[in-house]
Structure 1
């Protein structure tokens, strides 16, 4: 397995804890570090890399929109390509949210499983869940010595995304809000027509078993707050329980989608933010943890200031 030199952002996670009796400095909270990040440390997300899902209004008539950022190259691109084709064909219009399992996932697609799919969708194999190692200056990781990842040899970030690394290569991680592809038993790997998002504790056991294709960057509350399904695995048992999907479009096909940006994971501000998440020293905390699971270091994403 290739080993790249760890950069300061992730090396900070394993830094020795300060002696509390000697630490009289006032430390900023992670949110304060993010708020003070320089404009040049934020990276724009292209509208074409967004998937915009509009749900039927809630019981009070309020609109519900979920914005998903699609996974960048070279990860999961067969499934991402299918998702782009499905959105262009307006395939999800008239489908529904069909499952809400507590502390796990919310899932959507065609409840009947009879709706015809667009032609020429790609078929992927299980090997495509993992991307072979490649040397990239944008890949930063925390080595496994000292504080091992329970699911991988190492973990870190690539252009704003959490990844894990093992002997076979790199793969995306099932953190809160990540979007994956529903499938049947192997060798089926799913087309991308059936999607889910994580709404509970990170189910890392799914890594390398299901394709991850993106993450919810706005509107997760419209999914995480849904009533839990009473059927097996949280599926809704009655049609009226399902939430209708009005439309799903790529971001560059939506006139009023806002611009988004993420905090550069190679920036000094992200290094300070990651350290603050791993070692909370702001006034509320008495004992810094001395480390953090990668899913407890969510990459900051915000609407771009006008």
Structure 2
């Protein structure tokens, strides 16, 4: 009997499944997976005074992140124009396929608010003589600059003496007349096609659209010269443009961008250049500056307790 009990006990033990140990974390194999798994420490809040919230016809929202560190005079003007509600009642006037969406005062007669700064072509880049930038380098050749990388959440092109923001998809520039006019910041456009990098250092780049690009890029194309709407076509009304810092807290959007010095961004950048997963068979072995956009995410606003 004792022998039988031992046999039954042994059988019971061998039939009981072992408690499995937690499987090791699966390394992210796609850029989007890196972004999804990035810890809170890999994200930085975007200041509310650097968010421009544009509401167009139908109540559709477009949010632009401004870059005061790279275009200080133009951005200061844009902030002043937003505080003066200057864009309210203006319109989107130009949509050129594979190029830009442009907005501002179609009449070019609306008075400017006082105190705007004078600008010049010297504002298209920042000098590096007395400045040290914390650069996350992009170690691949660029057709438009000797070196490229990422600084404070922005893609940057450099030549050893100056640094500037590139014309990437979704980036916002300042319309101007012929040089030396550099524009005030009242006439803005965003790139909706292949990155026109030939414009770098020829026009001021002041920010990027971080929400609402689908709205802008899907607007009807203008049939006039270089995509301007003709009198017979509908110029899309701009209802309001505000800095997020000037909006009530309940209406204020909150966004974060990935820290370009973080391990998460390093992994993201590596996979943008060397994608090898279930879909990709052949890694590219490189990525250009505009094809590695710094991840940005909106943070839900939690209601007050």
Q: TM-score, normalised by structure 2?
A: 0.86
Q: How many angstroms apart in 2 are the aligned matches of 1:112 and 1:301?
A: 35
The residue that corresponds to 2:153 in the other structure is 160
SS in 2 for 1:241: coil
Confirm whether residue 123 of structure 1 aligns to residue 123 of structure 2.
no
Aligned equivalents of 1:264, 1:27: Cα separation in 2: 18
**Which of 173, 176, 179 does residue 180 from structure 1 map onto?**
173
Find the counterpart in structure 2 of residue 110 from structure 1.
105
Cα distance in 2, alignment partners of residues 288 and 234 from structure 1: 37
Do residues 92 (structure 1) and 87 (structure 2) align?
yes
Counterpart in the other structure of 1:71: 67
Q: Counterpart of 1:43? A: 44
Task: Report how far residue 28 of structure 1 moved.
Answer: 1.2
**Cα separation, 2, equivalents of 1:92 and 1:56:** 13
Which ranges of 4 or more aligned residues in structure 1 deviate by more than 6 Å? none
Are 2:172 and 1:171 aligned? no
Alignment of 1:215 onto 2:211: no
Task: Please state how far the C-alpha of 1:136 moved relative to its aligned partner.
Answer: 3.7
CA distance in 2, matches of 1:71, 1:239: 36
2:141 pairs with 1:140: no
Quote the residue 1:13 is aligned against: none
Deviation at residue 168 of structure 1 after TM alignment: 3.2
The number of aligned residues is 273
Aligned 8 A contact 1:26 1:282 in 2: no
Q: Normalised by the size of structure 1, how large is the TM-score? A: 0.86
Change (3 A) 1:267 1:286: same
Aligned partners of 2:28, 2:137: CA distance in 1, in Å? 24
Q: Distance in 2 between matches of 1:232 and 1:29?
A: 42
Higher-RCO chain (CA-CA 8 Å, sequence separation at least 6)? 1
In 2, distance between residues paired with 1:298 and 1:119?
Answer: 36
Q: Counterpart of 2:235?
A: 242
